[in-house]
Amino acid sequence: MRSALTMLGIIIGVGAVIAMLAVGTGASRKIAEQTASMGSNLLIVLPGSQTSGGIRTGFGGQPTLTLNDAEAIEKECPAVQDVAPILNGTAQIVYGNLNWSTRVSGTTLGIIRVRDWPIATGRSLTDEDVRSATKVALLGQTVVDNLFGGIDPVDQIVRIKKIPFRVIGVMEKKGQSVMGDDQDDAVFVPVTTAQKKLFGTTFPGMVRQIMVKARSAEDLDSAERQVTSLLKQRHRIGPKKDDDFSVRNLTQMMQAAEEQTQIMTILLGAIASVSLLVGGIGIMNIMLVSVTERTREIGIRMAIGAKTWDIRLQFIMEAVILSLIGGVIGLTAGITGSSVISMMAGWPTEVSLMSALLAFVFSGVVGIFFGFYPAYKASLLNPIDALRYE
């Protein structure tokens, strides 16, 4: 009973270590996957200012981002490789008697390269589609799954907002985004078609965002500067005025997400170290009690020929065993705990063999460290006094 209580600290500590590592590795792996799935070296240009806090769109003025801005960025910024303007909205898409509500994005063929998102079957959007505002659509995998039960969707006609569109291709499966939503639940149409037929506004040529892919990771900063200065110039923004647009670096957004999981990791790490410390002190206490209770035994062993390190090793081993038992229970608790975390917080977790080993080593080290003092005390006992101890 006493040892069970003592082990609790180790159990919690090791459990927290396991959970910490599970959350940490799971989250960073997921972030890495998502970073790759968003496309690399990405900038997102949004209307409205970022510096002034809230989003300040050009109310009453002109729309802040247009198709022309996107074209200008592609032509005039040398650090930029590809550009994809986006005008999106939610719309109902119907095929036969099935319908599905999804995010429809008007864009250009740039989207394929900007998002590193290849076509699985069929063909991509072309410049001609954009120029002529053809009624064609590229479908994400989730949309295909929900509307076409095994039928090849290419060349089928779907209705978006009751307007018939010909399906020209299907995108490859992409998975979840950083925000946790399904990226495959998407439809792409030519941006011009979206402007004219689907999400028409009073401002012709308006887009909601422009995605920009820099030539390389090194070019990301210069691309950001070039885009910013080009848009300042195009939007005639004076040197002291706030921008009416903002450029976001996706890498930074990823870093923010990573920081969030790091905070969780640090928190768990703190719990782990505190409980391991408490557990260790508990073990030290129980071992000190044990040394006192077994003073006579120590005396007998010494009389019979136990040397200093024979006595020390005996008690250190006992502390380590106690600690390892706690470690094994903690491992189980940690695995359970991390699946609970991933269920409740929707966080992916991963318990690796490495972290299990680490937990083992951790509890062993705690046992050795906190077992040493009681063992040391035991080894210093005077054999005669120890033998006489009642």
Nearest to 199 by CA among 86, 36, 42, 69: 86
SS (H, E, C) 5-30: HHHHHHHHHHHHHHHHHHHHHHHHHH
Q: Which of 36, 163, 256, 303 binds another protein (CB under 8 A)?
A: 303
Task: Render 116-164 in DSSP notation, one character per residue.
Answer: T--EEEE----HHHHHHT--EEEE-HHHHHHH-SSS--TT-EEEETTEE
Binding mask 311-350 for another protein (x = CB under 8 A): ----------------------------------------
**How far does Cα 251 stand from its chain's mean position?**
12
Which one, 235 or 294, has the nearer CB to another protein?
A: 294
User: Under the criterion CB under 8 A, does residue 302 sit at the interface with another protein?
Assistant: yes
Q: Which helix (H) or strand (E) holds 249?
A: strand 245-249
Q: Please give the structure tokens belonging to residue 216.
A: 């390389």
Among 83-91, 145-153, 240-248, 303-311, which window interacts with another protein (CB under 8 A)?
Answer: 303-311
Among 69-77, 244-252, 297-305, 346-354, which window interacts with another protein (CB under 8 A)?
Answer: 297-305
Give the alpha-carbon dihedral of 346, 347, 351, 354, to 10 degrees: 180
Q: Which of 307, 345, 352, 357 binds another protein (CB under 8 A)?
A: 307
User: Under the criterion CB under 8 A, does residue 298 sit at the interface with another protein?
Assistant: no
User: Under the criterion CB under 8 A, does residue 2 sit at the interface with another protein?
Assistant: no
User: Under the criterion CB under 8 A, does residue 225 sit at the interface with another protein?
Assistant: no
Q: Which of 127, 242, 259, 310 binds another protein (CB under 8 A)?
A: 310
Minimum CB–partner distance for residue 304 and another protein (Å): 5
Among 260-268, 282-290, 291-299, 316-324, which window interacts with another protein (CB under 8 A)?
Answer: 291-299
Nearest to 74 by CA among 215, 187, 233, 238: 215
Q: Please give the structure tokens belonging to residue 101.
A: 């509500």
- How many C-beta neighbours within 10 Å does residue 52 have? 11
Which one, 230 or 387, has the nearer CB to another protein?
A: 387
Q: Interface residues with another protein (CB under 8 A)?
A: 296-297, 299-308, 310, 383-384, 387
